[in-house]
Amino acid sequence: MTSARTTPKTDTVSTALKDQESTVREREQRSERPRRQSDPSFSLDQRMESKLFAATALLAKLEPQDARARLLNIAVLRRDEALLDGILAELESAPTPSRRSR
């Protein structure tokens, strides 16, 4: 009652594999992200203070519920220079909605 297993013919296997072939796509060219340039004459503390000042000024213009404003606030609290650079460059290049008066 045991049936012997037979090896499938190579023609059958190669035809089945051709149906399931995949290809590797070329990577798309990444667009260069905007970068915020720092003044090279500033000391590290002065550079950080200027970024914090710019961030707080930008926070005043954003809605409190805006996710970007919350992320910017976290970057200010942590004094995370890399995150500040990224968010400030992104927000300075994009038009920002002004805060509504209540």
Alpha helices in 62-93 (DSSP H): 67-78, 81-93
Q: pLDDT value at position 102?
A: 44
> pTM of the predicted model, to two decimals?
0.54
Instruction: Tell me the mean pLDDT per 10 residues along the chain, length 102.
Output: 66 62 76 66 87 92 90 93 90 63 46
The domain ranges of the chain are 52-95
